[in-house]
A and B are shown apart, each in its own frame.
Chain A
Amino acid sequence: MTEIGLNHFLIVSTVLFSLGIFGIVTRKNAVMVLMGIELVLNAANINFIAFAKYGGFGYQGQLVALFVIVLAAAEAAIALAIVLNIYKTFSTVDVDQIDTLKD
């Protein structure tokens, strides 16, 4: 059991990223796909902050993580508005049934 270092955090974020990708590609419900995207963004944030600490980048890594959180909020709002519109049009949010651009 070695001391906790950069690699431990990178492994955690790798597993989190893989789980997020797994959620994105396997889930049918569009809201579940969004949850997978949030997992992926969190994994990226862990990497940013881990490298900011162990790579000696000062506060810049944490700042980028803050920007990512802001973008994730904007992305979630837009995506849910789109999902609501899709539900109104098709009465379903299963991403494998929505295969037309026009109803």
Chain B
Amino acid sequence: MNVYDLIFYLFAAITLLSAFFVVSTRNIVHAAFYLIFTFFGVAGIYVLLGADFVAIVQIIVYIGGILILLLFGVMLTNKITSVQIKSGAFQTIPAAIGVGLFAGILGAVLIRTSWKTIEPIIPESTTTGLGYLLMNEYVIVFELLGILLLIALIGAASMARK
């Protein structure tokens, strides 16, 4: 077992354990903080897969943006001074059975499938390649996403102000 394998198992364990705590803890603020570790673990997996730029974007956008937004959502929708921030759960056992079956079947299919893989290329910095693609083949998608994000943020601000 080499270092790559060890680091993979470390990040996979961080991701999956904290994701399990996210969906199982009763306290919403704790769940939001466990979500930080999940996102960090996923960013580590991206780095292992040779996607350094996506990993940095993951940390900046998810941990710096989306998670803070979620925490604001928690703070604004719960009277945190008066009641405990708890979230109930319902139908846990049927849901666990169904999701477990789903994961088992999907995992079995994934393992049995013989994927047509190539020998992975030695990772190098991906920023140049991604920037080149974004400005050439995918420039329309890039511009449309910018417009979509602008519209979404204006819409969210005007909806939340009402």
Report A's interface with B, CB cutoff 8 A. Answer: 1, 3-12, 14-23, 25-32, 34-36, 38-39, 42, 45-46, 49-50, 52-56, 58-60, 62-63, 65-67, 69-78, 80-85, 87, 93-94, 96
CB distance from B23 to the nearest CB of A (A): 4
Q: Lowest 5 A-B CB distances belong to which pairs?
A: A74-B152, A29-B87, A23-B23, A18-B103, A81-B156
Q: List the A side residues contacting B88 at CB < 8 Å.
A: 28-29, 94
Q: List the A side residues contacting B62 at CB < 8 Å.
A: 38, 42, 69, 72
**Bound CA span A60–B50, Å:** 13
Assess A53 versus B73: contact at CB under 8 Å? Given A14-B106, A27-B89, A94-B88. no
List residues of B (117-162) whose CB comes within 8 Å of A's CBs.
117-118, 120-121, 126, 129-130, 133-134, 138, 141, 145, 148-149, 152-153, 155-157, 159-160, 162
B76 within 8 A of A: yes
Known: A34-B73, A85-B160. 20 other contacts (CB 8 A): A15-B107, A16-B15, A17-B106, A20-B19, A21-B99, A22-B95, A27-B87, A31-B77, A32-B87, A35-B35, A49-B54, A53-B121, A59-B126, A60-B133, A62-B54, A69-B54, A70-B61, A72-B66, A74-B152, A84-B73
What is the interface residue range for chain B against chain A?
Answer: 35 or more
Query: Cβ of B149 and Cβ of A42 under 8 Å apart?
Result: no
Query: Cβ of A15 and Cβ of B103 under 8 Å apart?
Result: yes
| B69 in complex: contacting residue of A23, A55, A65, A80, CB < 8 Å | A80
Q: List the A side residues contacting B133 at CB < 8 Å.
A: 59-60, 63
